[in-house]
Amino acid sequence: MEIRTTGYGHPDAEKLSAEVQQEYVQRYGDMDVTAMHPDHFDPPAGLFVVGYLDGEPVACGGWRAKERNDDGLLDGDAELKRMYVVPSARGRGLAREILRHLERTAAEAGRTRFVLETGTEQPEALALYASEGYEPITKFGFYKDSPQSVCLGKPLGA
């Protein structure tokens, strides 16, 4: 897979983000309404990538810088957002490849911990994150009070 830094506003990133939103509708009954803006993913305070197979966009993900707040986030955190692999490309390790690329770039940008919010209806994501060393953290974000919300974190650069 070729991983390209595209930005969140790139047409391929927008296409894959729309697809992941439909996946949320199928799994949870509604789209993710967390505030997102292309500027959140502009380096050095963020990054958004798209993975390509044979020139076709098949995977995406990004991170955005976060700092200490009342939800338990810490200075130096980077929040993982919009991890997605198209159904036809699943099961090939592409999500893991994107995740590791994003972790590396966040660490290179001086971020010290990766945090994310996923949900109980995404067992594949939960399994991936557990296998990569993510552990439960204090819930944060728009869905912190939802019983379906799962928040995880992992130190970077250890």
Residue that is written with structure tokens 């439909």 in the block: 22
Low pLDDT (below 50) residues in the chain:
none
Predicted confidence at residue 158, as pLDDT, reads 56
Number of domains in the chain: 1
0.85 exceeded by the pTM? yes
**3-state helix/strand/coil string of the chain:** CEEEECCCCCHHHHHHHHHHHHHHHHHHCCCCCCCCCHHHHCCCCEEEEEEEECCEEEEEEEEEEECCCCCCCCCCEEEEEEEEECHHHCCCCHHHHHHHHHHHHHHHCCCCEEEEEEECCCHHHHHHHHHCCCEECCCCCCCCCCCCEEEEEEECCC
CB atoms within 10 A of CB 22: 10
pLDDT score at 71: 87
* pLDDT, tens digit, 9 for 90 and up, residues 11-24: 999 999 999 999 99
Query: For position 157, what pLDDT does the model report?
Result: 80
Q: Does the bond joining 44 to the residue before it have cis omega, within 30 degrees of 0?
A: yes
Range of the domain at 140: 2-155
CATH code where residue 108 lies: 3.40.630.30
